Structure 1
Amino acid sequence: MRTLLNVIWLIFSGLWMALGYAIAGAICCVLVVTIPFGLACFRIARYALWPFGYRVTDRHDAGVASGVGNVIWLIVAGIWITLGHIAAGVAFCVTVIGIPFGIAHFKMIPVSLMPLGREIVPV
């Protein structure tokens, strides 16, 4: 069932989201200072391609730098990306068939809001 959901997700939402995150990651990797944000974008892009069967967890070894980076990310991009996931999640939840995909968008909110100090692991 996860594979079927992932394939449908890839067609309707995942490919475009992953492409957007990958482009943002490439832009962030141009400057040395923003490389951690670029790596986080690439991690989210991989999660956006195949979200069913994975979950986001906190890394316990993340330090103060992750917290400061998350605040910067929140101000610059996190709020806007999260609002996009909320809008897409609500739009998918309008139909009964789209509810699992709306829930997948809602699952992406924590990692898109504050990506540093988090990791994506199999369920």
Structure 2
Amino acid sequence: MRTLLNVIWLVFAGIWLAIGYALAGVICFILIITIPFGIASFRIAGYVLWPFGRTVVRNPEAGVMSTLGNIIWVVVAGIWLAIGHVVTSIPLFLSIIGIPFGIANLKMVPVSLLPLGARIVDIK
């Protein structure tokens, strides 16, 4: 069932959102000093491509640097990626089949805003 959900997700929302994260990651790698943000962006791009069967877990011991990094991320790229999730979820909610995908899309907003100090793990 998860594979079917992931394939449908990939077609309707995943590929476009992953391109946004990949673009943010490339820009972060070009700027060199923001490479940790680029790594986080590519990690989330993989999650956005195939989200069902995985979840985000926060690390409570992430520290002050993670918090400062998240503040910078929100200003530079996080807000735009979160807006992308919200805008993508709106047309998904217009059909009955798309409602679970719209909900999944909105569940990704916190990790798009605060990627540092978060791990993506399998549900098992």
Judge same fold: TM > 0.5, yes or no: yes
Structure 1 residue 20 and structure 2 residue 14: aligned?
A: no
3-state SS of paired residue (2:62): coil
Structure 2 counterparts to residues 29-68 of structure 1, below 5 A: 29-68=29-68
> In the TM superposition, what is the alpha-carbon distance from 1:13 to its structure 2 partner?
1.3
1:87 aligns with 2:87: yes
How far is the alpha carbon of 1:21 from its aligned partner? Answer: 1.1
Structure 2: how far apart are the matches of 1:42 and 1:48? 10
How far apart are 1:16 and its partner, in Å?
A: 1.9
Matches of 1:45 and 1:84 in 2, distance apart?
13
Unaligned runs of 5+ in 1: none
Question: Counterpart of 2:4 in 1: which secondary structure?
Answer: helix
Unmatched 5+ residue regions in structure 2?
none
Secondary structure in structure 2 of the residue aligned to 1:29:
helix
**Structure 2: how far apart are the matches of 1:96 and 1:28?**
37
Kept in 1: contact 2:22–2:45 (CA 8 A):
yes
Q: Which runs of 4+ in 1 moved over 6 A?
A: none
Shift, 1:17, TM fit? 1.5
Counterparts of 1:90 and 1:15, CA distance in 2: 16
Deviates more, 1:14-23 or 1:101-110: 14-23
Alpha-carbon displacement from aligned partner over 1:50-91 (angstroms, at most 9, x marks no partner): 000111110133111110011111122222221221222232
User: What is the aligned-residue RMSD (CA, Å)?
Assistant: 1.2
Distance 2:79 2:35 in 1: 20
Amino acid of the structure 2 residue aligned with 1:93: F
The secondary structure found in structure 1 opposite 2:46 is helix
> Quick one: distance in 2 between partners of 1:20 and 1:82?
11
SS of 1:95's partner is: coil
What's the offset of the Cα at 1:11?
Answer: 1.2
TM-score (norm 1): 0.93
Q: Residues 20 and 81 of structure 2 are in contact (CA less than 8 Å); yes or no, is this contact kept in structure 1?
A: no
**AA at the equivalent of 2:88:** A
Question: What is the TM-score when the length of structure 2 is the normalising length?
Answer: 0.92
Structure 2 contact 74–114 (Cα < 8 Å) conserved = yes
- % identity of equivalent residues: 59
Q: CA deviation at 1:97?
A: 0.6
